[in-house]
Chains A and B, each alone.
Chain A
Amino acid sequence: MADFLIESIGLPEWLAWTVMAGVAAFLILNVIAGGALVFIWAERKIAARIQDRLGPTRTGGRFGWLQSLADGIKLLAKEDLMPEGADGMLFRIAPYVSFCASFCAFIALPFAFDFVGQRLNVGVFFVVAVLGLEVFGVILAGYASASKWSLFGAMREAAQVVSYEVPLGMCVVVPVMLAGTMDLVTIAEKQAGWFTSWYLFHDPFTFVIFWVYVTCAVASVNRAPFDLAEAESELVAGFHTEYSGLRWSFFFMAEYGSMFLVSALAALLFLGGWNGPIPVAQLLGLSEGTGDTAHYLVRLIGCGNLLLKATLGVLIMMWVRWTLPRLRIDQVMATCLKYCTPIAAAMFAGAMLWQLFLPGGLIPGLGRPAGEIREGWLEGPGGMTAAPAAAPNEKPNETPSKKVAQVVR
């Protein structure tokens, strides 16, 4: 896109890159903020329905569509309080630390083949690493609030998140191992085709480890039944007890952003990313070769696919939240150390052995032949563009997708 701005419109290079970065940042910010608005409304409706209530019904029509917007205005207008004994600087900066961590992880998250803020060849690793930073804001908030409830919440959060990073990392490693790359774009691209080529259905071990991933993901973003950091029946509101107004809402945007992020990561790693269960575009004959418009259309459908899967993941998290009771801290730790970690380790070993002994799957022919897989990392940024075999511009069967893959850089 930056190249397009430079070549077609004639913008100077620095301006083109700034505009490009600004557009990407704006889009990501709106995915988080707009997503949070929708998800908060959905959460209230789902909670209400599960508890046999109606939920918001008045603001903005029959279903209370505008409830979140009204809430937002209320939060903006609220007084910004700070406890007397609080460490002012840390208290103010903590929500932004949380939000920045959540936001930064979206940079490397692809929404479709070319729709990615910055394609990194260690995308998975980056997302997991940055996601782990969110806890730092929570700890700072708990410490700086000068309140014992906040401190308790922060301590629980720190213990929980640091523990759950271990099984989460093990779960994430399995798709990385199957795909042979940490590039999220390539991992998703390798699952193209029918839903049978999704890594969820790759072998029994990946099927099990997906559910371990779901457990760990819910725990690492502090959602019920693992929301001990804000257990309202014991700790008032946990780490954000002393927060009000916009600072409080930053914590919530970070939480909903992280929920969406881990769901999207689950979709990318296990559920085929932007490849739908049925390759509709392929069946219709829309592929990268059909021309620029069709190619773009395919990307848009893929983006919709990923957003749909991620939203479904968030909705499932809400369903779980309003169904299961909250665990005690020792149960949380036992779940992590006694169940998730050993299961993840065993499944990792199992998936490895499966790859060694049954690389073609149980029923040969169902999976996608390895030859068809587009090696995205070969032509992507930082890839071996100079390797003679993979020089994209000299290939006779050049497709627009490869061109765009370069333009994105």
Chain B
Amino acid sequence: MTGATLLAAINFHTLLFLLFAGLACGFAVAVVLADNVVRMALYLVLSLASTAGLFFLAGAEFIGAMQLMIYVGGTLVLLVFGVMLTAQAPFVSIKTSTGDRVLAGVVAASLLALLLQAAFSVDVWRRPGVGEVAPPAATPLGMALVGARVDEPAAGAPATAVRSGYLLPFEIVSIHLLVVLVGAAYLARAKRRRTPRAIEVAASVESPSESVQSTGSRAAATGTASALVSGGSR
């Protein structure tokens, strides 16, 4: 009897929320603790998919599907693809030093403190009531992100003045991401000597018996090689 009442008391929504939130947090910790890049990617996929589950649970199906498509389907597939293209021993297995761990811990703790403060400063969390329909328009924040501030004008400014939105900071963050990508490509680039050009390889293969040093035969070999190359490209 007590078991039945206990089960009846369980709120399904809360239970699923806890399940997805726990999975997301657990796999996020696993990303930090793992030392193989591909495993990290797998944990990150599972963590992000759990976050998508949270979105679906909240009824935000579009954001959930977006999360799956952009992060899990797009970004992470490209990430793993990049890892496989550039896989070298020091980058596939990443050992984090203690200093890095401490630094990351400090950054994460301060971010967590900020988020907790923001979350607890909201007066009341409530779900949209039954029959309540959200207005089918972009929120002020969304409008501000594309450059138009529709919220109240700044104090002291004339009411007609157009205030700049968050487009510039957003673009700066994008450029920052681009820089990070370029840096990652540079770090992961194969450090090897300049590879001989295809034409030189062809020349050396083409005339093994001849002395490639003599300029005359070299020109001839280059001629055949370029003929070969152009024939191949045809």
CA distance A196 to B68 in the complex (A): 35
B-contact bits for A158-176, CB 8 A (1 contact / 0 none): 1101100100000000000
B81 sits at the interface (CB 8 A): yes
CA distance A90 to B40 in the complex (A): 11
B77 sits at the interface (CB 8 A): yes
In the complex, which residues 1-29 of chain B have their Cβ closer than 8 Å to any Cβ of chain A? Answer: 4, 7-8, 10, 12
**B77 and A158 contacting across the interface, CB-CB below 8 Å:** yes
> Interface on chain B toward A: helix, strand, loop, or mixed SS?
helix
- Which residue on A lies nearest to B63, using beta carbons? A122
How many pairs of A and B residues are in contact by the CB < 8 Å rule? Answer: 97
B residues near A133, Cβ cutoff 8 Å:
68, 72-73
Partner of A136, one of B10, B61, B66, B76: B76
From known contacts A122-B61, A122-B62, infer whether A136 and B77 are also in contact, taking CB-CB under 8 Å: yes
| CB of A219 to closest CB in B, whole Å | 16
A373 sits at the interface (CB 8 A): no
B182 sits at the interface (CB 8 A): no
In the complex, which residues 4-31 of chain A have their Cβ closer than 8 Å to any Cβ of chain B? Answer: 12-15, 17
Of the listed stretches A62-70, A247-255, A291-299, A379-387, name the one at the interface; the rest are far from the partner chain.
A379-387
| CB of B158 to closest CB in A, whole Å | 39
Partner of B80, one of A17, A139, A161, A384: A139
| CB of B60 to closest CB in A, whole Å | 10
B residues near A154, Cβ cutoff 8 Å:
84
> Interface on chain A toward B: helix, strand, loop, or mixed SS?
helix
- Which residue on B lies nearest to A134, using beta carbons? B73
**A162 and B78 contacting across the interface, CB-CB below 8 Å:** yes
**B38 and A129 contacting across the interface, CB-CB below 8 Å:** no
CA distance A143 to B79 in the complex (A): 13
B36 sits at the interface (CB 8 A): yes
From known contacts A154-B84, A155-B84, A386-B131, infer whether A17 and B65 are also in contact, taking CB-CB under 8 Å: no
Partner of A87, one of B39, B72, B73, B77: B39
Partner of B12, one of A17, A90, A144: A17
**B131 and A132 contacting across the interface, CB-CB below 8 Å:** no
Give how many A residues have a beta carbon under 8 Å from the other chain's beta carbons: 40
B residues near A139, Cβ cutoff 8 Å:
77, 80-81, 84
CA distance A158 to B78 in the complex (A): 8
B85 sits at the interface (CB 8 A): yes
A residues near B78, Cβ cutoff 8 Å:
162
CA distance A144 to B73 in the complex (A): 19
Residues of B within 8 A of A (CB): 4, 7-8, 10, 12, 36, 38-39, 42, 45, 59, 61-62, 64-66, 68-69, 72-74, 76-78, 80-81, 84-85, 130-133
Beyond known contacts A142-B84, A162-B74: 16 more, CB 8 A cutoff: A12-B8, A14-B8, A17-B12, A89-B39, A122-B62, A129-B68, A132-B74, A139-B81, A140-B38, A140-B42, A140-B80, A155-B84, A158-B77, A158-B84, A384-B133, A385-B131
27 contacts between A and B (CB under 8 A): A14-B7, A14-B8, A14-B10, A87-B39, A90-B39, A120-B61, A120-B65, A122-B62, A122-B65, A125-B66, A132-B68, A132-B77, A135-B77, A136-B72, A136-B76, A136-B77, A136-B80, A139-B84, A140-B38, A140-B80, A143-B80, A144-B38, A155-B85, A158-B80, A162-B74, A162-B77, A385-B131
Residues of A within 8 A of B (CB): 12-15, 17, 87, 89-90, 93, 97, 120-122, 125-126, 128-130, 132-133, 135-136, 139-140, 142-144, 151, 154-155, 158-159, 161-162, 165, 382, 384-387
